[in-house]
């Protein structure tokens, strides 16, 4: 009798632990996979301009075909990173994601203080120094993560001009 009870309790404990571990690990595992898929052999802390999504785009689920994405894989282990993003209409946003998929910061063109979105991303526990005026300072919850810039592409004809502007964006280590 006791053996049966131990067996049931044992199975329940193992199942509970595995259940929680699986659900909690999934976002981290998927995010790590996506980051390496997007980055490929690209450098960290540098923007990569993604082509417009088509049926051939199979790296990230449910891509929006009306958005031009730029991605910067963040590695804050050596210090802060600054992101400067020129704006295009009718919508531009800069979103920061942690390595557990949380979206911990987002700004769009309507909230921009000037002609660009300007953000300094600081690792946990580090104090930013000499940050230019008008720049947002954000503390990242994890050292690894990514910056995702979204630009609405109004029509196929509007894309070439927009593409020229987005290439002027920078993601680079920030020496405060």
Partner 1 sequence: MKRFAYWGGIIVLGLALGVGSAAFMLRLGALDGGYSVGPWKTGTDFGSANADMYTRARVALYGLLALDRKETMYYTASTDDAGKPLSGDCTYVVEGKDLAARWWSVTAYGPDSFLIPNEANVYSFAKTTVKREADGHYIVRVSADRQEGNWLPVKRGQSFDMTARFYNPDAEVSAAPASAELPRITKESCK
Q: Smallest gap, in angstroms, from Cβ of residue 68 to partner 1? A: 13
Find the shortest distance in angstroms from Cβ 48 to partner 1: 14
Residues near partner 1 (CB under 8 A) are 3, 7, 10-24, 26-27, 30-31, 34, 53-58, 60-66, 90-91, 93, 95, 97, 100-104, 106, 108, 110, 141, 148, 152, 154-155
Looking at the Cβ atoms of 60 and 137, the one nearer to partner 1 is 60
Closer Cβ to partner 1, 36 or 64, answer by number:
64
Residue 71, phi then psi, degrees to nearest 5: -125, 140
Question: Contact, 70 vs 50, CB < 8 A?
Answer: yes
- Rounded Cα–Cα distance for residues 84 and 77 (Å): 20
Nearer to partner 1, 11 or 129 (CB): 11
φ, ψ (nearest 5 deg) of residue 131: -80, 130
Q: Which of 123, 111, 141 is nearest to 45 (CA)?
A: 123
**Which CB, 110 or 115, lies closer to partner 1?**
110
CB of 67 to partner 1, least distance (A): 9
- Are 169 and 162 spatial neighbours (Cβ–Cβ below 8 Å)? no
Sequence-distant (≥ 6) Cβ neighbours of residue 55 within 8 angstroms: none
Closest distance of CB 7 from partner 1, Å: 6
């Amino acid at each position: 009798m006791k053996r049966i009870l131990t067996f049931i309790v044992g199975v329940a404990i193992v199942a509970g632990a595995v259940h929680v571990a699986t659900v909690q690990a999934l976002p981290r595992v998927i995010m790590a996979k996506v980051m390496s898929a997007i980055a490929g052999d690209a450098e960290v802390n540098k923007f990569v301009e993604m082509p417009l999504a088509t049926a051939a785009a199979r790296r990230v689920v449910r891509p929006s075909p009306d958005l031009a994405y730029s991605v910067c894989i963040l590695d804050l282990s050596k210090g802060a990173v600054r992101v400067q993003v020129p704006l295009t209409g009718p919508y531009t946003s800069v979103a920061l994601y942690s390595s557990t998929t949380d979206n911990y910061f987002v700004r769009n063109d309507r909230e921009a203080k000037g002609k660009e979105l300007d953000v300094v991303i600081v690792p946990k526990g580090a104090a930013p120094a000499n940050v230019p005026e008008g720049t947002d300072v954000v503390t990242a919850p994890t050292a690894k993560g990514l910056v995702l810039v979204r630009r609405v592409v109004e029509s196929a004809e509007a894309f070439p001009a927009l593409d020229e502007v987005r290439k002027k964006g920078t993601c680079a280590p920030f020496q405060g």
